[in-house]
């Protein structure tokens, strides 16, 4: 079972004591907060924060900052006594965003429910002036990430009708359940959830990118985290699965992209924030198939977990006082020891990726296990870059890991499975170009220069993942 953070309720994840800091953004947010509290103009400071976050590749944080920028003129004019004023919403969002940014945890900045609730509130006020705009959790969590198309494999009409009838019978008590259910009510809800899990298992097809496989993993993660009942996102997930089951019965072969993104973000949320334990390996494997990584727990008990967390907070405090042990990479300030460790692990990963990419151009030597190893190497690089704060590097590395995963699954697919795979293996040339782009970014990092985003490599990987293998 995944262990939860013992951090204060206002925090969604632990601070990252060795993570990079975007000091210009932190200073700009402090200035914006001071201006806001003195009823002065804060837009220019927020714009500086947004630009710095974009330069660092902290794209989810930049998206949040941009919402603050757009609402800041309305917040400055708002009357605190007015219940509909944007001012209290803006102030609360700015304070929590500043606190989160100073914890240097990119996973929290992407997946924090607290930040998303603020983001949604900001956008709600903005929507009064820009009607028709909508906002979803995955907009922050999966910002700029490619997501592959997902299939609904063919099944008999009778089987689908039977499964949907079972699903609908179990769905109603889940939708009506409350977080504080106990006794008989809780047992009834758990029985209904068991039935939903059983139906999702029977629906799951052989394609690694079958929607019901993703939905099954998401449902399991919701139950492990205790969020399967009484939470709006969980109710929406289960209800949308029912609608997708109806589409499946009508012969639709592809799951809606919006549902895939929402389900993937919901699956990733708690694992991104709190890490995964050994028993979560099935869900983590699904996340890897979609280009997402998590940290693994090493603590075996809640007591040891809390001890680890206390050590992390202490390390954060020590790190903040040792300004001489840092390196500057453009707007990013990184811990010198973490920087050296990253360069060593990155060098091994990029060499392996380059070799795998060159070998992939020889079809007669194609080996799915080699492709999986290449994907793992990319994910190691992406995870290390994310921990250091190198957002641009992490994004390209994770996308490359996903492309290799797609290639591995295409290589092992049986004819029955292959007939339902919508996107084929990404071309070897695309993989090699992305590896070379990563190498160029890492050369800049090693030279003490801030790496810029490799938009061409990311765009090529996104096309290969979402549209075709070319």
From first to last of its 470 residues, what are the pLDDT tens digits of the chain?
343 433 334 467 788 888 999 999 999 999 999 999 999 999 999 999 999 999 999 999 999 999 999 999 988 875 555 546 889 999 999 999 999 999 999 999 999 999 999 999 999 988 875 555 678 999 999 999 999 999 998 899 999 999 999 999 999 999 988 766 666 777 888 999 999 999 999 999 999 999 999 999 999 999 998 888 878 899 999 999 999 999 999 999 999 999 999 999 999 999 999 999 889 999 999 999 999 999 987 544 455 455 545 555 555 555 554 455 899 999 999 999 999 999 998 988 998 888 888 777 665 556 788 899 999 999 999 999 999 999 999 999 999 999 999 999 886 544 444 444 454 678 889 999 999 999 999 999 999 998 887 788 999 999 999 985 54
Per DSSP, the three-state class of 148 is coil
Domains in the chain, ordered, with CATH? 21-135 (1.20.120), 157-289 (no CATH), 322-466 (1.20.120)
pTM above threshold 0.85? yes
pLDDT of residue 414: 44
230-233 — which CB contacts under 8 Å span 24+ positions?
A: 230/177, 230/178, 230/179, 230/180, 230/181, 231/179, 233/137, 233/266
- Are 365 and 338 spatial neighbours (Cβ–Cβ below 8 Å)? no
pLDDT of residue 180: 66
pLDDT of residue 156: 92
b/e 128-149 (16+ beta carbons within 10 angstroms → b) = eeeeeeebbbbbbbbbbbbbbb
pLDDT of residue 356: 83
Per the listing, tokens 């059983």 go with: 198
The rounded Cα 363 to chain-centroid distance in angstroms is 33
């Amino acid at each position: 079972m995944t262990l939860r953070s013992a951090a204060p309720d206002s925090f969604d994840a632990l601070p990252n004591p060795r993570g990079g800091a975007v000091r210009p953004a932190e200073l700009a947010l402090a200035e914006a907060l001071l201006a806001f509290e003195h009823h002065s103009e804060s837009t220019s400071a927020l714009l500086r924060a947004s630009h710095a976050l974009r330069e660092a590749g902290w794209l989810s944080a930049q998206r949040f900052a941009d919402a603050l920028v757009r609402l800041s003129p309305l917040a400055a004019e708002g009357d605190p006594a007015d219940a509909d004023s944007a001012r209290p919403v803006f102030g609360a969002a700015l304070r929590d965003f500043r606190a989160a940014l100073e914890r240097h945890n990119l996973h929290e900045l992407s997946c924090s429910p607290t930040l998303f609730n603020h983001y949604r509130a900001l956008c709600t006020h903005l929507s009064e002036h820009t009607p028709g705009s909508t906002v979803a959790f995955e907009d922050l969590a999966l910002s700029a990430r490619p997501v592959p198309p997902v299939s609904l494999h063919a099944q008999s009409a009778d089987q689908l009708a039977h499964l949907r009838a079972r699903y609908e019978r179990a769905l109603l008590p889940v939708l009506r359940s409350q977080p504080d259910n106990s006794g008989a009510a809780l047992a009834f809800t758990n029985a209904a959830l068991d039935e939903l899990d059983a139906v999702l298992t029977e629906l799951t097809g052989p394609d690694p990118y079958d929607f019901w496989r993703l939905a099954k993993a998401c449902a399991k993660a919701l139950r492990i985290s205790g969020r399967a009942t009484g939470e709006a996102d969980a109710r929406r997930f289960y209800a949308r699965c029912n609608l997708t089951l109806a589409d499946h019965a009508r012969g639709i072969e592809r799951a809606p992209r919006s549902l895939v993104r929402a389900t993937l973000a919901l699956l990733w949320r708690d694992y991104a924030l709190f890490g995964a334990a050994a028993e979560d390996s099935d869900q983590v494997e699904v996340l890897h198939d979609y280009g997402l990584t998590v940290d693994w727990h090493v603590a075996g008990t809640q007591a040891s977990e809390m001890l680890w967390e206390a050590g992390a907070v202490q390390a954060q405090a020590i790190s903040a006082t040792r300004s001489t042990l840092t390196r500057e990479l453009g707007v990013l300030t990184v811990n010198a020891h973490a920087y050296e460790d990253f360069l060593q692990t990155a060098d091994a990963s990029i060499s392996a990726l380059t070799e795998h990419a060159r070998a992939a151009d020889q079809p007669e030597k194609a080996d799915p296990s080699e492709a999986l190893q290449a994907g793992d190497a990319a994910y190691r690089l992406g995870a290390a870059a994310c921990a250091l704060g190198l957002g641009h590097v992490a994004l390209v590395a994770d996308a490359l890991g996903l492309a290799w995963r797609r290639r591995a699954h295409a290589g092992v697919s049986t004819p029955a499975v292959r007939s339902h795979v919508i996107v084929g293996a990404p071309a070897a040339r695309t993989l090699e170009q992305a590896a070379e782009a990563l190498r160029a970014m890492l050369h800049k990092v090693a030279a003490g220069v801030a790496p810029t985003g490799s938009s061409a490599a990311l765009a090529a990987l996104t096309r290969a993942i979402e549209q075709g293998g070319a």
